[in-house]
Copies of this chain bind each other. A is one copy, B any other.
Amino acid sequence: MSIENANAGRAADVLFRTFADQIRLGQLKEGEALPPEREIVERYGVSRTVAREALQALASRGLIEARPRHRPIVRRPSYEAAFETVGTMIGRLMAKEEGVRALFEMRALIEVALARQAAKMATKTQVIQLEKALEANAQAIDDSAAFYETDRAFHAVFYEIPGNPALEAAHKGYATWLHPQWSIMPRHPQRNKINYEAHAAVFKSVHSGDADAAEDAMRAHMDAAWKQVCKTF
């Protein structure tokens, strides 16, 4: 590796930063393949070991997408990809109650705010969307697996209403990371019905444009859900 980076630590880290900078500056564009490994070796004066470790780091941090037996390509950045990248670590935080609580409370803060915002600003189309999701939720009361899916879909509508990809990505993250808790929770039609009724209360408030009521209803729903989650510990 060139001498001018002697203070920069491992050669693989230096090469990682070199490529990360090229990606950030648009010198390597989305969808574009990186150079072949043997060319990287020649161009940057490193071994294939160093080249491969730098590429591995780029892939692990979601900057490039490795494809079997192909040169990796620069990945389109997205909030969803970002959440996927940290999934393994966040998953570890789910092993402890305080990790689950932190995530759950952050989710609750956001969903309460989204419900409030929806009550204020949801379009007629969006309210209909919510109503359809609620109807599917009602239909699934007796089928706990389907109920879970429609429950998740109902909450997802709130994240979609503002049209912000970061929120939509966050919801997918939350749903994925909190799923282990959900999957061990006892589910039966009576409990499903209670959850459905909480959803209906939120919907009713949104439909009537009552932001305070929407906030209170979603808050109550999340609080009750947390109590259920606590039973999984």
B residues in contact with A57, CB < 8 Å: 56-57, 59-60
Determine if A165 and B24 form an interchain contact, defined as CB atoms under 8 angstroms apart: no
A22 and B9 CA atoms in complex are apart in Å by 29
A88-B61, A109-B114, A162-B105 known; A95-B24 Cβ under 8 A:
yes
A77-B89, A93-B77 known; A109-B162 Cβ under 8 A:
yes
A68 and B26 CA atoms in complex are apart in Å by 31
A67 and B95 CA atoms in complex are apart in Å by 26
Interface-located stretch among A78-86, A123-131, A142-150, A199-207:
A78-86
B residues in contact with A59, CB < 8 Å: 57
Interface residue range, chain A:
35 or more
A116 and B112 CA atoms in complex are apart in Å by 11
Determine if B102 and A166 form an interchain contact, defined as CB atoms under 8 angstroms apart: yes
Contact for A79 among B20, B79, B93, B114, CB less than 8 A: B93
Contact for A53 among B9, B53, B90, CB less than 8 A: B53
Interface residues of A in 54-102 (CB under 8 A from B): 56-57, 59-63, 68, 77-79, 81-83, 85-86, 88-93, 95, 99, 101-102
B residues in contact with A101, CB < 8 Å: 164
**Chain B CB within 8 A of A117 CB:** yes
A61-B89, A88-B63 known; A167-B23 Cβ under 8 A:
no
Determine if A164 and B24 form an interchain contact, defined as CB atoms under 8 angstroms apart: no
B residues in contact with A81, CB < 8 Å: 89
**Chain B CB within 8 A of A155 CB:** no
A56-B56, A162-B109 known; A77-B92 Cβ under 8 A:
yes
A105 and B68 CA atoms in complex are apart in Å by 37
A83 and B61 CA atoms in complex are apart in Å by 11
Q: How far is the CB of A114 from chain B (nearest CB, A)?
A: 7
A62 and B93 CA atoms in complex are apart in Å by 12
Residues of A with Cβ closer than 8 Å to B? 9-10, 12, 20, 23-24, 26, 49, 52-53, 56-57, 59-63, 68, 77-79, 81-83, 85-86, 88-93, 95, 99, 101-103, 105-106, 109-110, 112-114, 116-117, 162, 164-167, 170
